[in-house]
Chain A
Amino acid sequence: MAEKKRGAQSVLLQNRPRVLSFASMAGPKEAEGPLAGTFDETFTDDTLGEKSWERGEAKMLEHTVDLALSKARVYADAVDAFLGGDLLNQIVSASYTARQLGAPFLGLYGACSTMAESLLLGALLVDGGYADRVVCATCSHFATAERQYRFPLELGNQRTPTAQWTVTGAGATLLGRGEAKGLPLRLTAATIGRVVDKQQTDINNMGAAMAPAAADTLLAHLRDLHRSVQDYDLIVTGDLGCVGYDLMCLLCEQKGVSLDERYIDCGCEVFSPEQDVHAGGSGCGCSACCLNGWLFRRMLSGEIRRLLFLATGALMSTTTSQQGESIPAIAHAVTLEVEEG
């Protein structure tokens, strides 16, 4: 058996890859939310001065990656791999970012789980000695997601109570070897998720589709590593929203795991109820800009010492949804720890 593997789905990162730097950007609505002030940069024009929203989204990701690199004073040619993806068809935002960056690129599609997926793979590359510096990044944009998955923006329709609001935001983390100089943040374990499908078909209730995957991965993580919820200061899911949050708690309770006050969801935190976003935020950018700002800062301040980051993704397409196929979902987990020196 592989020496670093634990249980059915998990790994221990024995060389403890380090976070060298992180950066986040967010759009106008996010900047008015409760997490305002935790993002490195925000903007008011959601095309970022470009001629289309798609171009604007790519620019946002490019800029976020540049920010992360400049904070660590690392040039693009010193990046061994860029791991990223987004929600658009053919993950164009990540590809255009990779085009501009020029670093070796592995495109990922994990829907909204991409931040955790990229961190997990990036940590494996670094831990295994295959890379010195890896950039993990993802983004989402309300307008581009709305165009691709739902309706034209000027259409006068109403959103359902379970619908979520795609976050306009991006996050990037630069990972390096354990012995490198950087922040006192390390990745110590990870769990690769399985696709879980409880035959949910309502595309306006993503939280319900994804909660079973989040519960499955969390339970696998605890089982594989012989840990309990109490071993973590905080367990954070990506974008389950209010409906998914409640379901996640219930599903874990059914398996005898009580999540209590140690559990939060980025989708519930990124907007306030007054912002009229119904069930909360969603999108790759939701967990990415929360982690690479608010959550990392809370860890650096010593408030959280061990965090389980559990980003969830709904893996359907508009075509398969129209054909009546249910929504497969996935969640990946990474353990982040504060470690001085």
Chain B
Amino acid sequence: MRTLHREKTPEAREYDELVQRVSPRSSAGSTALALVKAFGVGGLICCVGQAIHDLGAGPLGLDDKAVSAFTSTALIFLSALLTGLGLYDRIGKFAGAGSIVPITGFANSVVSPAMEFKREGYVLGVGAKMFVVAGPVLVYGITASVLYGVIYYVIRLVQGG
């Protein structure tokens, strides 16, 4: 079988160098700015999460498990709303990883394809395409947790738990 990954020819490598030379590089200043934006927005989103958490634990009197479910549900709701209103992608353009890495970014990556593929129908569009971006997160997250569970089980057995 002919492999798709071919060795680069010397000519292609030479061209790579040319491309590297010409391609715009982000300056130290713009890199620092991007990091500060990501830090600020990411930190803010986490603070909103903490406020929701405190609301659930204090005035609402929820127990530990319920509080964490309440917090993530509320954040996901807010993210879905902002995505629906067309605001989350603007936040993302500004903040980069600052709004991708929090759970709201995960929600955005579920909600945006759901909205996008509405025109292809509610079953094969919304239903099938909803996890086109976020699916891998569940696949790798859940698989890793199952692996960890199995390893933890074996360790307990060996230790005679």
Contacts and interface: CB of A to CB of B under 8 A. Distances in A.
Asked if A and B form a direct contact in the complex, defined as CB atoms under 8 angstroms apart, the reply is yes
Interface of A: 51-52, 147, 151-159, 161-162, 198-200, 205, 208, 212, 242-243, 246-247, 250-251, 279, 320, 323-326
A224 to B, nearest CB: 23
B115 A208 contact: no
B15 A212 contact: yes
A154 B91 contact: no
A316 to B, nearest CB: 12
B89 interface: yes
Given A198-B11, A199-B9, A323-B4, A155 B89 contact: yes
Contacts of B91: 156
B5 interface: yes
Contacts of A52: 119
A243 B24 contact: yes
Interface of B: 4-6, 8-9, 11-12, 15-16, 18-19, 22-26, 83, 86, 88-93, 95-96, 99-100, 105, 108-109, 111-113, 115-117, 119, 132-133
29 contacts: A151-B133, A152-B112, A152-B113, A152-B132, A152-B133, A153-B89, A153-B112, A154-B111, A154-B115, A155-B89, A155-B92, A155-B112, A155-B113, A156-B93, A157-B89, A157-B92, A157-B100, A158-B92, A161-B25, A162-B23, A198-B12, A199-B6, A200-B19, A205-B23, A208-B22, A247-B22, A250-B22, A251-B18, A320-B4
B40 to A, nearest CB: 15
Contacts, number: 94
A256 to B, nearest CB: 16
A52 B90 CA distance: 22
A247 B88 contact: no
B87 to A, nearest CB: 9
A153 B113 CA distance: 8
Contacts of B115: 152, 154
